[in-house]
């Protein structure tokens, strides 16, 4: 989970980048329960896409499925031209 | 951000609980940019509600708005009766 480096990154980086990171963890009560992480991935990306243009090359998705806990990480960098439009 | 305690919690806890936690961080390129964290909150909850029943008493939402980074934390415990239905 690289969520923390989102905040500790070198602030003095010259380039003004815009980033959105989503971490989702699903702890299932017992192994047989449906795994929501994968199902929610599409819907969360669709919700985000309503607000900012998504460039497939600038989206990183990591899905880790454990016995009882699954984690989904979505890392999106907003394309420069979208920044110009405010 | 209490995401990590989601994983380090005492595994021997007797009660089989099911939990879903979402963390979202939005780093804006410059201060004037629209803040997505709050906007996405409703849409992410609506996406989750399609898959599991949401009991308002068991949902905790924390929104922290900084100059350049806003964070949204949604913590949901799945109601027991929903567990019975698999």
Q: Is residue A5 part of a domain?
A: no
As for how many domains chain A has, the answer is 1
Q: Give the tens place of pLDDT for each residue, B4-53.
A: 455 555 555 556 788 999 999 999 887 777 778 888 999 999 999 998 88
User: Is the distance from CB of B36 to CB of A52 less than 8 angstroms?
Assistant: yes
pLDDT value at position B4?
Answer: 47
**B5 at the A interface (CB within 8 A)?**
no
Identify whether A8 is part of a domain: no
Given this model, what pLDDT does residue B26 score?
A: 92
Check A34 against B51: CB less than 8 A apart: yes
Note down the domain range covering B75.
18-84
Out of B4, B16, B43, closest to residue A29 by CB: B16
DSSP chain A: --TTHHHHS-TT-SS---EEEEEEEEE-SSTTS--HHHHHHHHHHHHHHTTS---GGGEEEEEEE-SSEEEEEEEEEPPHHHHHT-
CA angle A53, B42, B36 (to 5 degrees): 40
CA contacts within 13 A on the Cβ side of A10: 4
Confidence tier at A4 by pLDDT (50, 70, 90): very low
| Edge-to-edge strand list for the sheet holding B69-77 | A59-65, A69-77, A19-27, B19-27, B69-77, B59-65
> Which CATH number is A43's domain given?
3.30.1070.10
- Using an 8 Å CB-CB cutoff, list chain A residues near B28: 18
Write the ipTM.
Answer: 0.77
Span of A37-46, A70-79, B44-53, B77-86 with lowest mean pLDDT: B77-86
């Amino acid at each position: 989970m690289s969520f923390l480096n989102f905040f500790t990154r070198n602030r003095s980086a010259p380039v003004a980048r815009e980033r959105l990171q989503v971490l989702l963890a699903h702890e299932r009560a017992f192994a047989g329960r449906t795994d929501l992480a994968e199902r929610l991935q599409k819907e969360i990306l669709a919700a985000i896409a309503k607000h900012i243009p998504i460039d497939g090359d600038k989206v990183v998705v990591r899905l880790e499925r454990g016995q009882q806990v699954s984690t989904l990480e979505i890392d999106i960098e907003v394309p420069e031209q979208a920044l110009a439009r405010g």
